[in-house]
Structure 1
């Protein structure tokens, strides 16, 4: 092998590997989140015990995601 193929400058290797698996996964998940929001903009009625709340579907899903993450963090901390 020649020196050109075996050695790369730091600038070349950083340009080539900027798309790590973590970055690629993050980009795919961000794109899916945008599609979810665009497709679920219509409002729905949600009954919270007695009051009825009207909000877009994506907002209700985002709230439930946050609630689930908080519950997961609380449960995982209690096991440690």
Structure 2
């Protein structure tokens, strides 16, 4: 290893903040997806006025995706 390398270049792959953040997101996303697809019961969801009968996993997946979009938009606006 060259002594002129910076600390960032010497860091291991898992020591990088962006990699740790992505790994945490992947673990939480995996747990959320397992939870979503384990709920297979049919449920009725009210969309303002109409009522829709659909599998619970579908409603949870829609809510999860909308949450991801809202989080992404709020993070990008702060930068």
What TM-score comes out, normalization by structure 1 length?
Answer: 0.55
Residue 44 of structure 2 contacts residue 52 of structure 2 at CA under 8 Å; is this kept in 1? yes
The structure 1 segments of at least 4 consecutive aligned residues displaced by more than 2 Å after TM superposition are: 29-36
RMSD: 2.6
Superposition pairs of residues 1-80 of structure 1, within 5 angstroms? 22=23, 30=30, 33-34=33-34, 36-38=36-38, 40-80=39-79
In the aligned structure 1, how far is the partner of 2:62 from the partner of 2:52? Answer: 13
Which runs of no fewer than 5 residues in structure 2 stay unpaired? 1-22
What is the CA distance between 1:32 and its match in structure 2? 6.9
Higher CA-based Rg: 1
Which runs of no fewer than 5 residues in structure 1 stay unpaired? 1-21
Higher relative contact order (CA 8 A, sep 6+): 2
SS at structure 2 position matched to 1:66: helix
